[in-house]
Amino acid sequence: MTGNATEASSSDALCPRLLPAQTMGDTLMRFVVASNVLATTIGINIDLGPQPTASVYSSETTPIWSALAIESAPVNGACIFTAGAMSVPAGSFELQLDALDLVAGTSHGQLSLLMFVLPRTTEQGMQTDCGPGTTETVAIEF
């Protein structure tokens, strides 16, 4: 990650899972990325469509995708890291799938994700300090 938080990690647990999207018959790629710096996880969902292939997917070509993380801050504040087709601002992603095996549920490639950082106002009316930047970039190689 780079932006307001800077972190690098390596773990097999970061590898995405391929799940059937029950309502539409599509394949959903799901990342759950733990962040020690943010003390939370980043959930990333990308709908690859009904017949996904090893290819390039992006926020411009994929209508259903989302990413979210919420970092708690003192005095009931929070920093919300968000991106997605239904988010405002939307953010963006590029997913390069080099290999995809739907039977085994495995995939290999790279994901680059731009998320927006939105500070939540505390119950005392103070804006949470989420750092100087308004975006966070997440890069994943899997």
Domain ranges of the chain: 12-141
- pTM, two decimal places: 0.87
pLDDT digits (tens, 9 = 90+) for 47-86: 999 999 999 999 999 999 999 999 988 777 899 999 999 9
Exposure string over 45-66, b if 16+ CB within 10 A, otherwise e: bbbbbeebeeeebebeebebbb
- pLDDT the model gives residue 106: 87
- pLDDT the model gives residue 77: 85
Of 133, 132, 90, 91, the C-alpha closest to 113 is: 91
SS3 101: strand
Q: Half-sphere exposure (CA, 13 Å, Cβ side) for 42? A: 31
Segment of 35-39, 69-73, 82-86, 138-142 carrying the highest mean pLDDT:
82-86
Does pLDDT of 38 surpass 80? yes
SS3 13: helix
Query: What does DSSP assign to residue 78?
Result: E
Percent pLDDT > 70 in the chain is 96
DSSP H or E segment with residue 52: none
Q: Which two structure tokens, joined as six digits, stand for 70?
A: 């919420």
